[in-house]
Amino acid sequence: MEYDEWNPVYERILQSFGFDRRADERARDVLASLTTPFEMERLADVEGATVAIAGAGPSLESPDRLERAREADLVFAASTAVDVLEERGIAVDCMITDLDKNPETVRRLTHRGTPVAVHAHGDNVPAVEAVVPDCADASVLPTTQAEPVGPVVNTGGFTDGDRAAFLADHLGARQLVFVGWDFDDPTVDPMKARKLEWAERLLRWLERRRGERFGVLDGRRGDIETIE
């Protein structure tokens, strides 16, 4: 996805949450100062592949979800989904995170050569400054939801999970399968619930752009606000 396609949606997200674009841009600039361009060729295997997009919802631990992740060609996992999958012997090919939960996993994966898409936004600058310098730079894919600058890219998406889907799409994945996604998780706080609503809208937008139907949206499409 190109930034001019993403920007109108980003504007709606900013308005919906009252976020400050300038804060996102400042965070992006901090991340840019700590990283170098990521070699996208390292993720060349994504083109034409079936990619499991693993969310960190409670359902990820169910046997059928775990089996779907195992059967996929590649796994892109959001945040703590990485830990759940690895504990069950399922390798992750890319981690997507805004550094809000498991920084040691981020550091460990980069040093073993697993790409980690590290996201900077308005309120995570302290985490970016604390974690990124300890990572293996070649394995850090720096991302932003604002305009891309220098080594920092924007392939679309808002939450860790839907950013994983947009990244896989950007890299040419043939099919996306979703595991560990719980849009109606009653344990999340109100802010997280609103973010999940946006993630759902963004996935609906993405599946329409791809001409694909994501199973995770079955039974829900009629209630999802459309993004044109």
How far, in Å, CA of 181 to CA of 74, rounded?
Answer: 17
Asked if the model's pLDDT at residue 228 lies above 80, the reply is no
Q: Is the pLDDT score of 178 beyond 90?
A: yes
Judge if pTM exceeds 0.75.
yes
Residue 114 lies in a domain: yes
Residue 225, domain member (yes or no): no
- DSSP strand pairing (140-144 vs 175-179): unpaired
Give the tens place of pLDDT for each residue, 160-175: 999 999 999 999 999 9
Q: Rg of the chain over CA atoms, in angstroms?
A: 16
Distance in angstroms (rounded) separating the CA atoms of residues 203 and 207: 6
Instruction: Check pLDDT > 80 for residue 140.
Output: yes
- pLDDT at residue 198, as a whole number: 97
Q: Which domain holds residue 65?
A: 3-213
DSSP symbol at 72: S
CA distances from 192 to 118, 136, 168, 187, 226 (A): 19, 30, 23, 10, 20
**How would you list the strands of the sheet with 74-78, edge to edge?**
140-144, 116-120, 94-97, 74-78, 50-54, 175-179
Considering the domain boundaries, does residue 21 fall inside one?
Answer: yes
Pick from 170, 208, 192: nearest CA to 55: 192
Per-residue confidence (pLDDT) for residue 142, from 0 to 100: 98
In a domain, 218, yes or no: no
Question: Is 118 within the bounds of a domain?
Answer: yes
Task: Please report which residue ranges of the chain form alpha helices under DSSP H.
Answer: 3-17, 21-34, 63-71, 81-87, 103-112, 125-131, 160-170, 190-210
What are residue 82's phi and psi, to 5 degrees? -60, -45
- Top-confidence residue, 186 or 71: 71
Structural domain contains residue 219 = no
43 found inside a domain = yes
Whether 11 is in a domain gets the answer yes
- How many Å apart are CA 57 and CA 194, to the nearest integer? 15
Count of the separate structural domains present in the chain: 1
**Tokens 């099919």 — which residue?**
175
Tokens standing for residue 85: 């999958």
Q: How far is CA 88 from the centre of its chain?
A: 21
Segment 59-79, tens digit of pLDDT: 999 999 999 999 999 999 999
Task: Please provide the average confidence, as pLDDT, over all residues in the chain.
Answer: 97
pLDDT digits (tens, 9 = 90+) for 69-105: 999 999 999 999 999 999 999 999 999 999 999 999 9
Tokens 């109108």, residue? 8
